[in-house]
Structure 1
Amino acid sequence: MNFKKQTLTFMIQALCVGSVFANVSQTFERNNTHDESKYYQIAESRLGYVLSTFAAQSGVVLSYDPVILKNLNSQGLKGRYSVEQGFKQILRDTPFNIGKRGETYILVPKEVQLKQSDLSGAKDLMLPPESEEVPRLQKIVVTAQKNRLQPNTIQLDSEHIQRFRGTGNGDVFSDVTGVQLNSIRNEAGAIDIGIRGVQGEGRVPVVIDGSLQSTHTFRGYQGESDRTYIDMDLVSKISIEKGASTDKFAVGGIGGLVKVRTIGVDDVLLPDKQAGMLIKGSIYNNNKTPKISTRAEEQEHYLLTDRLSQSHFNNGSGTVAFAYKTDLFDIVTAYSKRSVGNYFAGKNGYERYKKLDADVAVVNTGQEVVNTSYESDSGIVKFGINLTDEQRIEANFRRHIQHAGEVMAAYWYKHYPDDGTGSAAWYAPDGREAMPQWGGAKLLLIRIVPVIIIILKIMHGLI
């Protein structure tokens, strides 16, 4: 028993001594690595660049303030040097010395006295002890997550939609690269989206709350268009995918895909609130609401306005929404009304276009453009039930009523007194022109979309 104790003690002592020798050997080898000479060839450049390059090639850690090396140059370094010799050669004609703290080399001004000034034989040059404690930073945790969006996908959030709302429903796309809208002011308040020059015939489907909303519209001599009717005041998010997509809604969409999400409970409620209301509105004076007669004869001779009145604020919009939620269910209702009048043609750059005929330039500079006004009433109701933490049922109801003018090529002409295009008994007042301004067509759009959302949770270890 005693023999075993002595043997165990001897083995422990031998192990400890061996560890000490091994540690000393490793330290000696590491220090010798920095003492070994190595061939360097660093071109003439900024002093900071030369120092950083030398430290990287020699495999040491260098710490310095780049500000103090600003506008200082170095001749570079060429030849065989050890680490200390290399630093000394680079800093030969500079007001700096190199010091060492632990395994880190530090650049200091020459007026700072070092413990040992002979860098060639120094094994561990130390700076003078600091009078103050070195500040230590607390642990910093950096987190990140993978970007789930494809490179060709653009997301427009509610902040972007409100910032670029404008007067037309298509104004929110005005700053999106690669996205064009067909006749944004002349589409009866609808949006007809094109992506990278591809448009129409279902090439760019527009999906609202999981339901395809594009309406194929025949426009006579002006061809066809895919129109989508939606009030942007009721929209929360828009996702635009450019090019062909593998999304389930992108069947036939060779140009791209646009997915729209209407406002939900979280867009109305404040954080940690169970119920709330949202009210917003706007008013503007940059267009004119036409006074349209109920008689077809008078609609055909609508007198044009040549000057925009800045004092008439007779157009605008208003939206009100209410939301309520519990752990079991949530509901949101919203109503939006918008009135947009005829816009006025611009005045700048008109001289760059060649005027072929007096009858061709139907709209003069700064003149009212007829049949571009619209009024819309939109409502939405969304109700959802949380069956479990993984399952949810949601039903959406949307109703959109719109009265809008339509710019058609067949009616794009002006009336002149007794010119044969209108009634011979009708005469325009002096200095006034007339064009057909129709009462506007009525559109009723009702969508009911039931949605079943199942959230699958994959537990750790299950496939």
Structure 2
Amino acid sequence: MTNRRAAATTIKQSGKQNSVKNYRITTLMTARLLASSLIAVSVVPALPAFAQERIGFNISAQPLSSALLQYANHTGTQLVFHADTVRGLRSQGVKGTLAREEALISLMSGTDLEYRISGNTITINKRAAGSDTQNIPAGTTMLAPIVITSGTNPQETVYTTPGSVSHISAEDIQRLPPTSLGDIFKSAPGVIAAGGRIGSSADVNIRGLQGQNRVNVMVDGTRQSNHTYRGYRGSRTEVYVDPDFLGGVDIAKGPVATAGGVGAMGGVVNMRTLEASDILKDGKNYALRIKGGLGSNTTSPPPTSKSIGKEDKITYPRVSRSGMFDGDSWSGNIVGAYANEDYEFIAGVSRRQTGNYFAGKKGKDSYYSPIYKAETALSPFGPGKEVFNTSQDMTSALVKGKTSWGDGHSLALGYIYYENEYGEMDENFLPYIRGANSPYRVAQHDLSNTQTHTVKSTYEYKPEENDLIGLTANLWYTDISSESNVIRAYSGGASYGMAPKSVATGIRTIGGDVTNNSSIETTIGTLSLRNGIEYVRENAKEDGGTSLSGTYLGANPNGKRTLASIYNHTSL
């Protein structure tokens, strides 16, 4: 005979499992306990696979609640226990190749709890006070219902998070390796990387809004956007990052009342770079990842066309494609990581090179234009021909470390370097190229160049026994500089072939934010509070504007801007 009772329980996780930080799962569950003044819980025979299967474990010493959650995530086991049962208890962790039950016993060693296994479900209880252990059958493991918890896939957050959000995992990115940064957004609903083949940057559009900081695109929570004016096309908000170093992308559509949301009305995109947990295997505290790739359908950029309109100085698109092994299209990177109970470190370097690609051979090459009342070229390049200004030669590196101490303290430091020499297409110019009789010709321009430097520090204080404190403080600095002939064409009237030879633009930004996450149990549920402040200081520059009649006519930003916000996000 058993009695039934209900318990509402909240499980809180603070960790790095699949890049999901600080989430709560609230579960209402009803369980039957043995109707007896002495509670004796016996081991119910488990499935053979549970007892016999041996797998690798690498769970460090930590609070028992988080250790059990890692165990559930790793083994696919359903755990049932009450939050008060494990509150204040710590686990010594478990490492090595063990059967699942052996690992569980090691995790709970010294806790005076008891467990029961039924199929793939484990119920954990406190040992009943004054229980008569002499009446417990031989073979019973005494350790101490009531909560159901399991791991959460970051891709499933779109179904559990209030609001319109998307997540792009590292697996999604690598399933079809991107040839440009904009490729990673192809499957994100409502999100477009405008001008994905115009240079090596991404200009993210969310639900029709882009540019002018309408969408804040960040790398590891730092602002990376450089703004350039491009004639009738308007302004591009350019973000640069190596796709091979991405561990995931989180997208929040619409206004966001959290860090990163200040000044952004269209949404916030945060591209997270790799962390040690992204490449470490279970049971291991070090890893080395080496990746490489070869491609075809590109060729190294031709000599630059020096003067548009003069036949002897124009370079025409080629039709001879490169092979797989001629070196015009390749990528490679190496990343190493190490982690122990109190420290983790990751470092890597990456190289990527692609030449100008070739357009497809099939399909029409012209259409009848009612405006010009004549057959008009669909593209200035033509089927099967080389597409000028689509090459890139990229080098990037990252170094990140994190240390933890005490009851919930941690400090992380990181540096990211990025440099790319790339072709850049003038999208404003393309509509005017209409065929052999057009006054304009396609041309291979001088290559553009962009460098970025990013430094970030993060301090966290999240004590296990205090649900009112979940503090995160970030301080960061970014420096982006670009030289571009396309930018030059629209800066103060300078045209191709005129001085200055190039125009340099850039932006230096310093920023920070402090956020505290709290939760309060009420009679109607868990009240979650997120309060914080954010500060951003931008210093934009352009050094090549042409002076006409003594007037500086630089078209790109020159000035300083300050953004600040105080935010609160409350949910029940």
- Give TM-score, length-normalised by structure 2: 0.49
- Is residue 381–residue 397 contact of structure 1 (8 Å, CA) maintained in 2? yes
Shift of 1:288: 2.0
Please tell me whether residue 225 in structure 1 is matched to residue 236 in structure 2. Answer: yes
Query: Structure 1 CA distance, aligned partners of 2:436 and 2:212?
Result: 42
> Residues 201, 250 of structure 1: CA spacing in aligned structure 2 closer, same or farther, 3 A cutoff?
same
> Structure 1: how far apart are the matches of 2:332 and 2:313?
32
Shift of the alpha carbon at 1:299? 11
Partner of 2:256: 245
Quote the offset at 1:200 in angstroms. 1.0
Q: Which amino acid aligns with 2:354?
A: V
1:339 aligns with 2:353: yes
The answer to which structure has the higher helix fraction is: 1
* Cα root mean square deviation, aligned: 3.4
Alignment-mate amino acid for residue 452 of structure 2: L
Q: Residue in 1 aligned with 2:41?
A: none
Look up the SS of the partner of 1:457 in the other structure. coil
Which residue is equivalent to 1:308?
Answer: 321
- Can you list the C-alpha shifts for 1:288-321, whole angstroms capped at 9, x where unaligned? 2213369789995223113534556520211100
* Correspondence for 1:150: 162
SS of residue matched to 2:294: strand
Partners of 1:194 and 1:204 within 8 A in 2 = yes
The residue number in structure 2 matching 1:52 is: none
Which of the residues 277, 285, 296 maps onto 1:274?
285
How far does residue 261 in structure 1 lie from its aligned partner after superposition?
Answer: 1.0
Q: Which amino acid aligns with 1:223?
A: G
Structure 1 CA distance, aligned partners of 2:388 and 2:382?
A: 12
Q: Give the equivalent residue in structure 2 for 1:442.
A: 449
* Distance change (3 Å), C-alpha of 1:331 and 1:178: same
State how 1:52-91 maps to structure 2 within 5 Å: none
Task: Find the partner of 2:175 among 155, 163, 181.
Answer: 163
Q: Aligned pairs, how many? A: 314
Query: Which residue number in structure 2 is paired with residue 190 of structure 1?
Result: 201
Report the counterpart of residue 45 of structure 1 in structure 2: none
Q: Deviations over 1:306-339 (max 9, x none)?
A: 3534556520211100112222322111111111
Q: Could you tell me which amino acid in structure 2 is paired with residue 171 of structure 1?
A: D
Q: Does 1:394 align with 2:406?
A: no
1:127 is aligned to none
Q: Of residues 418, 422, 433 in structure 2, which corresponds to 1:404? A: 422
Residue in 1 that maps onto 2:488: none
Q: 1:256 to 1:300 in 2, by over 3 A?
A: farther
Q: Distance in 2 between matches of 1:153 and 1:299?
A: 53
Aligned AA (2:335): A
SS at match of 2:299: coil
Q: Distance in 2 between matches of 1:160 and 1:418?
A: 45
Letter of the 2:454 counterpart: R
Cα drift, residue 164 of structure 1: 3.3
Residue aligning to 1:383: 401
Amino acid at match of 2:330: G
Task: Provide the secondary structure at the position in 2 that maps to 1:338.
Answer: strand
Letter aligned with residue 394 of structure 1: A
**Which whole-Å CA distance do the structure 1 matches of 2:212 and 2:313 have between them?**
33
Q: State how far apart, in whole Å, the 2-side matches of 1:320 and 1:282 are.
A: 12
Which amino acid is the alignment partner of residue 183 of structure 1?
G
| Match of residue 180, structure 1, among 143, 168, 192 | 192
Residue 216 of structure 1 corresponds to 227
SS of 1:442's equivalent in the other structure is strand
Structure 1 residues 354 and 453, CA, compared in 2 at 3 Å: closer, same or farther? farther
User: Distance between the aligned counterparts of 1:420 and 1:173, measured in 2?
Assistant: 36
Q: Distance in 1 between matches of 2:247 and 2:394?
A: 19
- 1:94 aligns with none
AA matched with 1:248: A
Identity value in percent: 26
SS in 2 for 1:160: helix
CA distance in 2 between partners of 1:250 and 1:420 (Å):
46
Write out aligned runs for 1:88-167 (5 A): 141=121, 143-144=148-149, 148-167=160-179
What does residue 385 of structure 2 align with? 367
* Structure-2 change in CA distance of 1:245 and 1:199 (3 Å): same
Q: Whole-Å Cα distance in 2 between the matches of residues 450 and 245 of structure 1?
A: 23
In 2: Cα distance, 1:420 partner to 1:172 partner? 37
Cα distance between partner residues in 2 of 1:240 and 1:190:
18
Superposed displacement of residue 153, structure 1: 1.2
Task: State the TM-score, normalized to the length of structure 1.
Answer: 0.60
How far apart in 2 are the matches of 1:204 and 1:275? 37
Letter aligned with residue 181 of structure 1 = A
Distance 1:382 1:140, change over 3 A: closer
Residue 259 of structure 1 corresponds to 270
| Distance of 2:163 and 2:362 partners within structure 1 | 38
* 8 Å CA contact retained: 2:423, 2:446: yes
Deviation at 1:379, TM superposition (A): 0.5
* Structure 1 unaligned regions, length at least 5: 1-136, 422-433
Task: Name structure 2 gaps, 5 residues minimum.
Answer: 1-116, 123-147, 469-518, 521-572
> Equivalents in 1 of 2:312, 2:389: separation in Å?
11
Displacement after TM superposition at 1:246 (Å): 1.5
Alignment check: 8 A CA contact 1:415 1:435 kept: no
Question: Partner letter of residue 343 of structure 2?
Answer: F
Structure with bigger strand share is: 2
Name the aligned partner's letter for residue 215 of structure 2: V
Which residue in the other structure is 1:287 paired with?
Answer: 298
SS of 2:332's equivalent in the other structure is strand
Residue in structure 2 matched with residue 199 of structure 1 by the alignment: 210
* Gap change, CA 1:213 and 1:289, over 3 Å in 2: same
For the 8 Å contact 2:295–2:324, the answer to whether it is kept is no
How far residue 269 of structure 1 moved from its aligned partner, in angstroms, is 1.9
The one-letter code matched in structure 2 to 1:204 is V
Q: Which whole-Å CA distance do the structure 1 matches of 2:412 and 2:405 have between them?
A: 11
Could you tell me which amino acid in structure 1 is paired with residue 316 of structure 2? L
Per-residue CA deviation, residues 36-81 of structure 1 (Å, 9 max, x unaligned), is: xxxxxxxxxxxxxxxxxxxxxxxxxxxxxxxxxxxxxxxxxxxxxx
Once the two structures are superposed, residues 105-127 of structure 1 have per-residue CA deviations (whole angstroms, 9 ceiling, x without a partner) of xxxxxxxxxxxxxxxxxxxxxxx
For the 8 Å contact 2:215–2:267, the answer to whether it is kept is yes
